[in-house]
Each structure stands twice: as C-alpha cells, then as structure tokens.
Copies of this chain bind each other. A is one copy, B any other.
Amino acid sequence: MADYVRNLWYMAAWEEELDGQPWLARTLLDEPRLLYRAEDGDYVMMADRCPHRFVPLSRGKREGDTIACGYHGLTFGRDGRCVRNPFSDLIPPNARVPIWPVVARHGALWFWPGDAERADPALIPDFGFLDAGAPMVRGRTWMAANYEFITDNLMDLSHAEFLHVETFGTNGALFGGEHGVRQDDSGAIWSNWWMPDSAPPVWATMVPEGGTIDQWLEMRWHAPASMALFIGLALSGTDRRELIVPAMANPHIITPETATSSHYFFTREPGEASEAMAKRVFNEEDQPMIEAVQRAMRDRDFWREEPVILHVDAAAIRARRRLMKLRAEERPAGG
C-alpha cells in the first residue's frame, strides 16, 4: 500500500456525480469507499466494505440514511455503526464501518482520510473560481499512473511545446518564456510562465497590426495534487490589465485511486468541440506519455532512479519535496 499523506483534503468526486444516485462507489487511496448524500443534505463517506464478510456495501440497499449489506443484511447508519442485525437483536460491538469527514465546496466533494479531529474545512484549497463565470462541464478522467507523475506533468508545462504543439498552437512561446517558482501564504507552490511581447494568435484580431501580447500560464499546487491553472493574454505593456480574452482558470485535481492509478478532475467548456479537445489533450496526448512514465518506473523509487533534473522541473521537484516532508511528519517516530 502506498505511503499516502493522510492528513489532507482529497477531492473524492464532483457533487453532481451523486445526483439521482443512492451512492457513489469509488476506490480512493487504495480503499473502496462509498459516498452518499444524507437526507439532510450532508455528505457521508464510509468504507465500501461490510465488517462481517468484507463484501462491498455498494452491493446492498440504501434505506433512508442507512445502508443494508446485500449479503446478510447487516445495516449501518451514517456514523458507521451497525443499527440492525436481521437475525438477532444482538449487534456485536465491533460491527462498525469506518467513516471519514466529507465537505462540499464549490461543487467538489473533499474528504479527509486521516485523523478526523484535524479535518478543518478551512484547509481546503480555494477553488472559488469554479462558481464564477460561464458554466463549465465538470469532467473526470482516469490514468494508469501514480498521482505524482501527473503532478510532474502539470507543474512543468514545457511539455506543451512537444505533446500539445498542434492542439494548443503554442508557436514556441514557452521556449522564450521565463519560468519562475514561488510559494504563497496558503502554502501553495506556483509554477509560472511569463511570455511577454509574443506574437498574438491568429484569431486575436483585437490586437493592433504589428502589436504584441503578454501571455502567462500559472499553475498553483496544493498538496497532495490539487492544482489550478490560470491563463491570461493581455496587450503588451498593459501590466496584465487589457486582456484580449477573459482570463481562464481551470482545476486539475488529482486523487490517487491506487499507487499506480489516479482520478483526474477537470472542467471544460460545454459543447462537442470542447469535449473532443479535452479528450485529445488529456487522453490522447498526456495520458499515453504519463502512463509510459509509470510503466518505465515499474515499482522503483523515483529518487533511486537518479532522474535528470532540469530548471523547468523546479516547481514539480518542490511539490515532491513537500510531500516527502509531510509523509515524514506522519511517520511514527522510530518508524
């Protein structure tokens, strides 16, 4: 089992994934989990595993806010305690299912796999931009790769000049850009590209003849792998104020399914063209390469393989180091 940091908020699902469903069953951090919306509107996450014979509770039935196992009928309440044994009035005291704190925030559901007493909702990264602007489609994809390899991909956008050169039409602006890394007060690590005075895209008819634009790509990372990408294009020399298109903000939130597979939450514009574009970028361009990293690594340790470190890796490496520190802090003393 992977060495996950436990005392963090992880995104489990989009809130709307539960619409009209008795529950959502999903493996997160190696464990099958069941997520449902209680009748009072709160969300509940419990282990998707009956403590009697260990079958998934998602093979059972929802009855109000309880779940009855489909095998022998043990029924569990939202606090995880067994409330009914259909063959006896005696309920063994160890008949309980683990539960975890869940919080809905900006349309996403966040859970805390560690010590519930430390689960402070104020620690959920700010994805307030999800509520603003034109409505976006909330999507999820899946990759057969450890979440840190997906983080590496996102925190080093230089790969766009190779993997996405046709889809994004970046025209080499990243090659001439400046890359910087910074940390903010929320603890986020930023991987920022600044590309001043670059040629405008062909569709940018609002740019005066012969004029240039300033572009930026800013990827913000919160542990474990909750990222947000901010993109801007402005007329050159306007100090980012005269935007030629509305600023864009997109979540790239990665949650481990297992040590070698991940859920990937994103948003995209509505419409078929945007759907096709997302599929191309995520599943035809990024996914095969990221999964190739996973296959090449097999189960070997990243650092023991002595990877070449480039300047453009600075932000990804800083995120990796942050996770190493968090893991070390959670390790029992002497462990």
- Copies per complex of this chain: 3
Task: Report chain B residues within 8 Å CB of A32.
Answer: 296
A154 to chain B, nearest CB (A): 13
Is A74 among interface residues, defined by CB-CB distance under 8 A? yes
The answer to whether A310 touches B54, judged by C-beta atoms less than 8 angstroms apart, is no
Task: Report chain B residues within 8 Å CB of A87.
Answer: 158, 174-175, 179, 310-312
Task: Report chain B residues within 8 Å CB of A94.
Answer: 306, 308
**Number of residues on chain A facing chain B (CB within 8 A):** 49
Task: Report chain B residues within 8 Å CB of A118.
Answer: none
Given A52-B308, A72-B156, A72-B159, list of 7 further CB < 8 A pairs?
A: A52-B307, A53-B293, A55-B296, A71-B289, A85-B310, A87-B312, A94-B308
Task: Report chain B residues within 8 Å CB of A95.
Answer: 308
Is A56 among interface residues, defined by CB-CB distance under 8 A? yes
* Interface mask (A72-97 → B, CB under 8 Å = 1, otherwise 0): 11100000001001111010101100
Which of A74, A156, A179, A292 is packed against the most chain B CB atoms within 10 Å?
A: A292
What's the Cα separation between A56 and B72 when bound, in Å? 43
Within 8 A of B (CB), among A252-276: none
- 25 A-B residue pairs with Cβ-Cβ distance under 8 Å, sorted by A, are A32-B296, A51-B308, A52-B307, A52-B310, A53-B149, A54-B297, A55-B289, A59-B289, A69-B162, A70-B163, A72-B158, A72-B162, A73-B162, A74-B308, A82-B308, A85-B310, A86-B158, A87-B174, A87-B175, A87-B179, A87-B311, A88-B310, A88-B311, A88-B312, A95-B308
Is A49 among interface residues, defined by CB-CB distance under 8 A? yes
What's the Cα separation between A97 and B80 when bound, in Å? 54
Is A161 among interface residues, defined by CB-CB distance under 8 A? yes
Which of A53, A55, A159, A311 is packed against the most chain B CB atoms within 10 Å?
A: A53
The answer to whether B72 touches A310, judged by C-beta atoms less than 8 angstroms apart, is yes
A residues with a Cβ closer than 8 A to B are 32, 49, 51-56, 59, 69-74, 82, 85-88, 90, 92, 94-95, 149, 152, 156, 158-159, 161-163, 174-175, 179, 288-289, 292-293, 296-297, 305-312
What's the Cα separation between A289 and B50 when bound, in Å? 12
A44 to chain B, nearest CB (A): 20
Task: Report chain B residues within 8 Å CB of A55.
Answer: 289, 292-293, 296
A128 to chain B, nearest CB (A): 32
Determine the residue in chain B with the shortest Cβ distance to A55: B292
What's the Cα separation between A158 and B312 when bound, in Å? 62
With A175-B87, A308-B94, A310-B52 as given contacts, are A71 and B296 in contact (CB-CB < 8 Å)? no
With A54-B297, A296-B49 as given contacts, are A162 and B308 in contact (CB-CB < 8 Å)? no
Q: Which 8 A-B pairs have the closest CB atoms?
A: A54-B296, A55-B292, A52-B308, A95-B308, A51-B308, A87-B312, A92-B308, A88-B311
With A59-B289, A175-B86, A306-B94 as given contacts, are A312 and B72 in contact (CB-CB < 8 Å)? yes
Task: Report chain B residues within 8 Å CB of A158.
Answer: 72-73, 86-87
Determine the residue in chain B with the shortest Cβ distance to A58: B292
A49 to chain B, nearest CB (A): 6
